[in-house]
Amino acid sequence: MNIKTIILCLVSSFFCQSVISSNSIQIYQENVYPSILDAVMRYDVDILRQSIEAGSDVNLKDKKGLTPLMMAVMGSFGVEEKVRLLIEAKADVLCQDVSGTTALIWAVVNKNKGAVRMLIEAGSNVNQAEKRGITPLIWAAIQGDTDMLQLLIDSGAALNSEDQIMHMTALLHAAYVGRLDAVRLLIEKGADITHQDKEGSTALIHALKQGNLSIARLLGWR
């Protein structure tokens, strides 16, 4: 299996395992949930507030290990207010679902910078990876989200942490999928441009293989 196939499987399997953003409500409605797991998916934030005040377990998990906090950051309405309510109610920001994914990773995937900042301030570990070694920084690099990358780096994210499948860092992932601005930022912040993945390829080699000369030049190709 080549690197392209592995990375495509990596990304697609992550999204297939769980539910993101507007698709969440439709899928979750197929199951029967205790009150707080249903309340967090509602448009009206007051429903969640009432559930918390009634003594609901803010760390309750569904069959995929998703907590109310994780569900909140997957949503598309009232996200930051829900996150604030759950954090104030002592929701566990370090909790992981069955894939090892944290609320912070879900917030990065859903590109909610406000929620990411709130979670970090509440004690989320910016270097806590899911089971395949994908960190929040790697996800931000894959998505080419430079604002998110900057926030994570400023919060102490390790630049050269690698996934457990291909041993690729955030820089290698960004170079592979053609995220020019992300590559530029990671280089400026001191990411190791000489790091080699499982097959001995560097970020430069990945950029050249993909025919991305703009990224290759950033990495020193002439």
pLDDT digits (tens, 9 = 90+) for 176-212: 999 999 999 999 999 999 999 999 999 999 999 999 9
Q: Flag whether 75 is in a domain.
A: yes
Q: Flag whether 130 is in a domain.
A: no
Banded model confidence at residue 70, pLDDT cuts 50, 70, 90: very high
Based on the fold, state whether residues 121 and 157 are members of the same structural domain: no
pLDDT of amino acid 35: 77
Banded model confidence at residue 134, pLDDT cuts 50, 70, 90: very high
Backbone angles phi, psi at 122, to 5 degrees: -85, 0
Based on the fold, state whether residues 1 and 19 are members of the same structural domain: yes
End-to-end CA distance of the chain: 30
Q: Flag whether 70 is in a domain.
A: yes
Based on the fold, state whether residues 118 and 37 are members of the same structural domain: yes
Residue-range definition of the domain harbouring residue 151? 135-222
Q: How far apart are CA 57 and CA 74, in angstroms?
A: 19
Is the alpha carbon torsion for 168, 170, 174, 177 positive or negative?
positive
| Neighbouring residues of 18: CB distance < 8 A, sequence distance ≥ 6 | 64, 66, 74, 97, 99, 101, 106
Task: Answer with the one of 125, 151, 174 that is the final residue of a domain.
Answer: 125
Banded model confidence at residue 12, pLDDT cuts 50, 70, 90: low
Based on the fold, state whether residues 67 and 149 are members of the same structural domain: no
Based on the fold, state whether residues 3 and 58 are members of the same structural domain: yes
Mean pLDDT of the chain: 89
Banded model confidence at residue 23, pLDDT cuts 50, 70, 90: very low
Based on the fold, state whether residues 222 and 193 are members of the same structural domain: yes
pTM, to two decimals? 0.86
Counted domains in the chain:
2
Task: Answer with the one of 125, 147, 178 that is the final residue of a domain.
Answer: 125
Q: How far apart are CA 102 and CA 35, in angstroms?
A: 22
Task: Answer with the one of 125, 154, 182 that is the final residue of a domain.
Answer: 125
Q: Flag whether 173 is in a domain.
A: yes
Q: Flag whether 13 is in a domain.
A: yes
The pLDDT of 135-164, averaged and rounded, is 98
- CATH value at residue 165: 1.25.40.20
Based on the fold, state whether residues 106 and 172 are members of the same structural domain: no
Based on the fold, state whether residues 112 and 150 are members of the same structural domain: no
Q: Flag whether 110 is in a domain.
A: yes
Based on the fold, state whether residues 100 and 43 are members of the same structural domain: yes
Lowest model confidence (mean pLDDT) among 1-10, 74-83, 173-182: 1-10
Banded model confidence at residue 9, pLDDT cuts 50, 70, 90: low
Q: Flag whether 92 is in a domain.
A: yes
